[in-house]
Structure 1
Amino acid sequence: MTVDSSLVDRIVHGVLQQLRTPGPFAAKPVPPAAAPLSAPAPRPAADCRIGQPVITARLIEELVPKTATGVVVAQRAVVTPAALDVVRARKLTIRREAAAAPETSPPARTLTVIVRNTPAVERLGRQNRWRRELLGCPDDAAALAISTLSRGDADRVVIFAAQSHRAACLANRNSAVKAAAIASFDDLRSVLEQLRVNVLCVDPTGRTDFELTRIIDLFEKPRPVRSKAE
């Protein structure tokens, strides 16, 4: 019997096609198993703060959790011997809070009112140490000094004016103002020993910026509070 080779090729090709095509009962691929969830990492132990002035054993037992590694107490807290025994038994550390830094007084707030402008006063203004106001007469300067001190916008006022005595006299009409006109650095030192001046009137004519800076620095220097008896 003669076998047609082309027929054989078609039969083989059909069989291979059937083998490549999955049937209705073919096994389905199994999805990969999900990775197991890892347990959350434990939180790091922290110190426990107790703010009471007296630290007792009972306070430590009630307030300090088992996961804590230390106890923080106030700077001046008293720790009883029994509390120290509990601290040692639980292998805790105990430390005191750092002492608060001492409060520093804010820098002096000074307003400079310029009626008489000179090269020295101009150079002084470039230091940007003081707030400045330019006015046209000593009367306006005295009025500004009164309003500024009354509102609390400055601690002291320096008036640069040729008519320094007039400016001081007008400013002293207000009870909140104690003004003085000075002629030199030594004059200011003498005035400050006797009066608590908050308005300083200076004629800047012929003075150097170094001299004016010394005067203002001395005027801003904190002074001890004088008693009424003095």
Structure 2
Amino acid sequence: MKQVEKAKVLVEMLSKSSQKTLVFTTHKATSTYLAQTLLAANIPFAEFTGGMSLKQKDEAIAAFRDTVSVLLASETGGEGRNIQFANAIVNYDLPWNPMKIEQRIGRIHRIGQTQDVFIFNFCLKGSIEEYILRILHDKINMFELVVGEIETILGNVDDEFDFSEIVMDIWLKHQVKPELDTAFEQLADNLLKAKNQYQQIQELDEQIFGEDFEA
């Protein structure tokens, strides 16, 4: 394929935006492909990958801050650096682990951020990413949670609960759409129960400890 639909939408989006935007990819091949795509579309960008030297990483962050509006980043993109000057994230590849998604958001949605943060999650219709997004966004509203809460919610499901392993198991065992829908709906219900349990505990703690709990 010369071009994929997600890349077309990304180019269209970045062409219309002047916001400082972090574009996250999971796979090296995807990052290479997107770099070629952005070059062809004349969209200036910097790259930040785990294999770069410290100097190269510093230069990439400086370019992102001062001269370009897009940082094409791997999973470690911007780790340990002050990039609150950015306020938009594109999850071009959606990780199957919610903790990794939260870590990405935490790159810019942290203390010192003075702007509204916008999160864009790309997925193809009918893909496993769409099922994951339905659960995390539609069911448990992950993107409205405070950083750190998703870990507690996942822990409330089961001590050995592994979201990505369960998603893979469902995807491999159920190839017919109605079965997939049912299995993912059950997973979503389990997470929603865990979230409600977490919120009940939070409310009880606040009633008991009051202002001391908030501190």
**TM-score above 0.5:** no
Q: Which structure has the higher relative contact order (CA within 8 Å, separation 6+)? A: 2
Larger gyration radius, structure 1 or structure 2: 1
TM-score (norm: length of structure 1): 0.24
Higher share in strand: 1
